[in-house]
Copies of this chain bind each other. A is one copy, B any other.
Amino acid sequence: MQYPEPIARLIASYMNLPGIGQKTATRLAFYTIDMKDETVNDFAKSLLSVKRDLTYCSVCGNITEDDPCEICADTSRDRSVILVVEEPKDVMALEKMKEYQGLYHVLHGVLSPMEGTGPEDINIPSLIKRLENEEAGEVIIATNASTEGEATAMYISRLIKPAGIKVTRLAHGLSVGSDIEYADEITLSKAVEGRTEI
């Protein structure tokens, strides 16, 4: 005996999500059957809505309902600084800080020769074009501190420095509140390298 068709299809749909295997998908599908009609309707609607109502900002590549996005359209922001991140989630994280007043550029990935991701596959060409047209004096590169993130930062830096634009990278070091004892060696060596006078 197979699962009834509607459950089997829902299990298959849940299994399309990352980190969800057969067992979890089955559990979620049976849980869904017992959820309120309204909750499931809202769920289905919000799934369709993210595909229909969201788009990428034609300027910075961030995810948005309106093009250009809220940040690019905000004339009160400092247009001389562009902060480059890997993913839209990073923009949200940085905006939570409420201190940065410049603009963003979302790459949607990093350079990865292993996975065949070259500069044309991520938003690097649009960044270069943007720098040619806009009056940005500084580019802050905030890719993650992974091998690919570092390589992408180096690549972008070499590409735009000749144009006389200041290129900076977010500081790496110990997290605030963390113990030296538990820090990994790379973080520690970055922390020593980037030490400041007090």
Closest to A62 in B: B4
Are A70 and B13 also in contact (CB < 8 A) when A27-B18, A33-B50 are? Answer: no
**Range for the number of chain A residues in contact with chain B:** 35 or more
**Cβ of A114 < 8 Å from any Cβ of B?**
no
Closest to A70 in B: B1
B30 touching A87 by the CB < 8 A rule?
yes
**Cβ of A176 < 8 Å from any Cβ of B?**
no
A49 touching B10 by the CB < 8 A rule?
yes
Can you tell how many copies of this chain the complex includes?
A: 2
**Cβ of A6 < 8 Å from any Cβ of B?**
yes
**Cβ of A193 < 8 Å from any Cβ of B?**
no
Q: List 30 A-B contacts (CB under 8 A).
A: A1-B91, A1-B96, A4-B54, A4-B64, A4-B65, A5-B65, A6-B46, A6-B49, A6-B65, A7-B50, A7-B54, A9-B42, A9-B46, A9-B49, A10-B49, A12-B46, A13-B39, A13-B42, A18-B31, A19-B24, A30-B88, A32-B50, A32-B51, A33-B51, A33-B63, A37-B51, A43-B47, A44-B45, A44-B48, A47-B47
